[in-house]
Amino acid sequence: MLLIGAVGIRFGPIRRRVIGEEDRVCAAVAAKVRFGMSSIGTGYDLSASTFSPDGRVFQVEYAMKAVENSSTAIGIRCKDGVVFGVEKLVLSKLYEQGSNKRIFNIDRHVGMAVAGLLADARSLTDIAREEASNFRSNYGYDIPLRHLADRVAMYVHAYTLYSAVRPFGSSFIMGSYDQDDGAQMYMIDPSGVSHGYWGCAIGKAKEAAKTEIEKLQMKDMTCREVVKEVAKIIYIVHDEVKDKSFELELSWVGEITKGRHELVPKVIKEEAEKYAKESLEEDDESDEDNM
């Protein structure tokens, strides 16, 4: 269609004229080619109610970037439950240990791990809790996770439709366990899309985490085994150079907790962290041999 070269030639001798639609498209296309696929959308990115000429809503994509800037959270669904792990970066030694939680209880049987803008995530936690609570009030039983994920995703999506509000800058991984339906896990991203997963990672090291998760045969593992692997993966993807200290937040819901979502007990967490640290040391040692 319009080539960058042609744009250059056209703009050359012209001093003053009204900038037309074609020029805007050229500029956007030029920007895209220059910066690659994760581009800026000059002119089409000011509000969520605007599409770009190539059919993207840039505000939603920028919201996803906000999630990518946050530290990693992972969730793994196994045979008899779901385990969450969050790499909680500690920005100051003055922080109280265990504060600024990134894993929430939405209902007794549903847990949620978040990444991205924490304040956005917290306000959505309240919405999700209200949904679950209203469901129980109306229908007399625990909300099925698939339905809750649909409702929350619908809510997140609503904020991508208008220019008066901005999209949520966080992604959410929700998990639950039920005697009859088994373990379930869903992830909702800022665009309002929700998928069911066996293994999921969000945040800055999500690609590295996904690679590690893919190595596991989680369908055949129990929560006890997966807890150690989750701790190990968080330790693996944590960047010692760029980010200093971190706190590992671990939670699970499954047969082992009788269907209640809880933080992993201290003893088991310490065991998992020990396993994680030992695995890292082994890898370090094996690296030295290769040299």
Partner 1 sequence: MLQNSRNPGCTSPEVKTGTTIMAVEFDGGVVIGSDSRVSAGEAICNRVMNKLSPLHDRIYCALSGSAADAQAIADSVNYQLELHSIETGDAPLVRAAASIVKNISYKYKEELSAHLIVAGWDRKKKGQVYATLGGMIIRQPFSVGGSGSIYVYGYVDAAYKEGMSKDECLAFVTNAITLAIGRDGSSGGVVYLTTITEKGTEHSIIPGNKLPVFHDE
Contact residues: partner 1, CB under 8 A: 137-141, 144, 146-147, 150, 180
Sheet hosting strand 262-263, strand order edge to edge: 199-202, 73-78, 81-89, 246-254, 262-263
Judged by beta carbon, residue 20 or residue 139, the one nearer partner 1 is 139
* Beta-bridge partner residues of 60: none
Nearer to partner 1, 151 or 166 (CB): 151
Is the Cβ of residue 23 or residue 178 nearer to partner 1 in the bound state? 178
CB of 30 to partner 1, least distance (A): 46
What minimum distance in Å lies between the beta carbon of 204 and partner 1?
Answer: 34
DSSP secondary structure of 94-134: TSPTT-S--EEEEETTEEEEEEE-HHHHHHHHHHHHHHHHH
Nearer CB in complex with partner 1: 170/184: 184
Q: Which is nearer to partner 1, 3 or 154 (CB)?
A: 154
CB 151 → partner 1: shortest distance, Å? 9
* Residue among 12 and 140 whose Cβ is closer to partner 1: 140
Nearer to partner 1, 181 or 283 (CB): 181
Q: Is residue 243 a contact partner of residue 88, using CB atoms and an 8 Å limit?
A: no
Q: What is the largest CA-CA distance in the chain?
A: 75
* DSSP string of 26-84, one letter each residue: HHHHHHHHHH-SS---TTT-S-TT---TTS--HHHHHHHHHHHTSPPEEEEEETTEEEE
CB of 132 to partner 1, least distance (A): 13
Phi, psi (rounded to 5 degrees) for 111: -120, 160
Measured CA to CA, the distance from residue 239 to residue 114 in angstroms comes to 19
CB of 90 to partner 1, least distance (A): 41
- In terms of C-beta density within 10 A (0-12 exposed, 13-18 middle, 19 or more buried), how is residue 291 classed? exposed
Q: Which is nearer to partner 1, 101 or 146 (CB)?
A: 146
Task: Write down the least CB distance from residue 96 to partner 1, Å.
Answer: 40
DSSP state for residue 219 in the 8-state scheme: G
**Cα separations in angstroms, 157 against 133, 150, 232:** 21, 10, 34
* Backbone φ, ψ for residue 51 (5° rounding): -90, 150
Closest CB 185 distance from partner 1, rounded Å: 17
CB of 140 vs partner 1, minimal distance in Å = 3
